[in-house]
């Protein structure tokens, strides 16, 4: 697991190093999936062989209000279960 504290500057060498030899890459962020961490990771991996990539994050949609933070995470699928599902889906596809 690579913890990315900042997108700019993104540690491209670390992204490439951590992505090397894995069967799936899943980015998870509390941000829109457009122009966020997933996009930065794919851009960093451009030009090198890498595993399939899936983004877990906020879809391109209008915001909502919720009673609490956990309700927002659940609404947008930003739970540990959603992340695990994305990993399993990618790995299942890899074995085909």
pLDDT in tens, 27-37: 999 988 999 99
pTM, entire model:
0.83
5 assigned to some structural domain: no
What is the CATH number for 79? 3.40.50.920
Q: Which residues contact 78 (CB under 8 A, 6 or more apart)?
A: 28, 30, 56, 57, 58, 72
Measured at the CA of 10, the angle between CA 7 and CA 16, to 5 degrees, comes to: 130
- Count of domains for the chain: 1
7 assigned to some structural domain: no
Asked if pLDDT for residue 94 goes beyond 70, the answer is no
21 assigned to some structural domain: yes
* Residue 32, domain extent: 12-94
Give the pLDDT score at 96: 44
Euclidean distance between CA atoms 56 and 34, whole angstroms: 11
45 assigned to some structural domain: yes
Asked if pLDDT for residue 73 goes beyond 60, the answer is yes
- Please list the alpha-helical segments (H only) found in 2-79: 12-19, 37-45, 69-75
16 assigned to some structural domain: yes
For residues 42-59, give the mean pLDDT: 94
């Amino acid at each position: 697991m690579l913890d990315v504290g900042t997108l700019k500057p993104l540690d491209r060498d670390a992204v490439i190093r951590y992505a090397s030899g894995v069967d799936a890459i899943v980015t998870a962020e509390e941000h829109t999936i457009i122009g966020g961490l997933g996009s930065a990771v794919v851009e960093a991996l451009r030009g090198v062989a890498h595993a399939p990539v899936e983004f877990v994050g906020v879809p391109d949609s209008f915001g909502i209000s919720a009673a609490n933070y956990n309700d927002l995470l659940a609404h947008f699928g930003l739970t540990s279960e959603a992340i695990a599902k994305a990993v399993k889906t990618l790995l299942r596809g890899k074995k085909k």
